[in-house]
Amino acid sequence: MSLKNKFQLLKVPFRWYIFSSLVVACLFLNYWNYASVGATVGWGGFAYYVASCVSLALGFALPTFLLPAVFRLVGLKKVANVLQVLLSGFLFLLVVLNGFVYAQYRLHINNMVLQMVLKAGGDIFVFDVMLYMRAAVGLLCAFALAFGLFRLAEWTNRRNIGVLRPFLFFALFSVLGANVYHIYAKANKLPSCRLNALLPYYYPVSANKLMAKLGLSVAGDAGLDNVQHGSALNYPKNRLVVDTALATCQNVVLIAIDTWKHKAFTPECTPNIAKFAQSSWVFSNHLSGSEGTRGGVFSLFTGLVPSYYDDFLYSGQQPLLVEQLLDEGYNTQILASASLAYPEFKDILFAKIPNLRVNTPGKTAYDRDKRITDDFLLSLDSLSSSGKPFFSFLFYDMAHALEIPWECTERFTPSWKFADYMKLGPDFDPTPYWNLYRNSLFQIDVLVGTVLDGLKKRHLLDNTVVIITSDHAQEFNDNKKNYWGHGSNFSNAQIHVPFILYQPGKQPREVAYRTSHYDVVPTLMHDVLGVTNKTSDYSFGRLLSDSTDRGWHLAADYYGFAFILPDGTIVQKNMSGDMLVYDAHMNELDNYQPNFEEMNRQLLYMNSFYK
Specify if 589 maps to a domain. Answer: no
Asked whether the predicted pLDDT for residue 288 surpasses 60, the reply is yes
Report the 3 state secondary structure along 47-88.
Answer: HHHHHHHHHHHHHHHHHHHHHHHHHHHCCCHHHHHHHHHHHH
Using 50, 70 and 90 to split pLDDT, how confident is the model at 4?
low
pLDDT band at residue 342 using 50, 70 and 90 as cut-offs: confident
φ and ψ at 278, to 5 degrees? -65, -20
Helix (H) or strand (E) holding 132: helix 129-158
pLDDT above 70 (res 102): yes
577 domain-assigned: no
Residues 378-421 pLDDT 10s: 999 999 999 999 999 999 999 999 999 999 999 999 999 998 88
Cα-based distances in Å from 291 to 260, 284, 361, 472: 11, 18, 27, 5
Q: Is the pLDDT of residue 73 over 90?
A: no
CA atoms of 481 and 506, how far apart (whole Å): 42
The band of 39, judged by pLDDT with boundaries at 50, 70 and 90, is low
Is the same domain home to 187 and 336?
A: no
Does residue 239 belong to any structural domain of this protein?
no
Nearest C-alpha neighbor of 555 from the set 300, 349, 287: 287
* Residue 45 domain flag: yes
Last residue of a domain, one of 545, 579, 594: 545
Q: Are 349 and 412 part of one and the same domain?
A: yes
Instruction: Identify whether residues 256 and 107 lie together within a single domain.
Output: no
State residue 361's pLDDT score. Answer: 96
Residue 94 to residue 392: CA distance in whole angstroms: 51
Residue 278 clears pLDDT 90, i.e. is over it: yes
Do 307 and 368 reside in the same domain of the chain?
yes
Under DSSP, is residue 496 helix (H, G, I), strand (E, B) or coil?
Answer: strand
User: Per residue in 543-552, pLDDT tens?
Assistant: 999 999 999 9
* CATH code at position 308: 3.40.720.10
Which residue, of 209, 225, 241, is where some domain finishes?
A: 225
Same domain, 215 and 110: yes
138-171 residues labelled b (16+ CB within 10 A) or e (exposed): eeeebbebbbebbeebeebbeeeeeeeeebeebb
State the distance between the two ends of the chain, measured CA to CA, in whole angstroms. 58
Residues 212 and 357 in one domain: no
Percentage of the chain beyond pLDDT 90 is 63
Do 303 and 210 reside in the same domain of the chain?
Answer: no
Lowest mean pLDDT among 67-76, 248-257, 343-352, 416-425: 67-76
- Alpha carbon distance 84, 410 (integer Å): 71
Domain total in the chain:
2
569 assigned to some structural domain:
no
Residues 197 and 257 in one domain: no
* pLDDT at residue 134, rounded to an integer: 73
Cα–Cα dist 220/205, whole Å: 20
Please check whether residues 292 and 158 belong to one and the same domain.
no
Q: Torsions phi, psi of 131, nearest 5?
A: -65, -40
Long-range contacts at 162-167 (CB < 8 A, ≥ 24 apart): 163/15, 163/18, 164/14, 164/15, 164/18, 167/18
Q: Would you say residue 552 lies in a domain?
A: no
> Among 145-149, 266-270, 431-435, which is the least confidently predicted range?
145-149
Q: Does a structural domain hold residue 230?
A: no
- Shared domain for 258 and 375, answered yes or no, is yes
Provide the domain limits for residue 470.
Answer: 251-545
Domain identity same for 122 and 194: yes
Q: What is the pTM of this model?
A: 0.79
Same domain, 198 and 83: yes
The residue among 523, 545, 567 that closes a domain is 545
Neighbours of 507 (CB within 10 A): 8
Among 226-240, 241-255, 553-567, top mean pLDDT goes to 241-255
Mean pLDDT for all residues in the chain? 89
Answer yes or no: is 582 within a domain. no
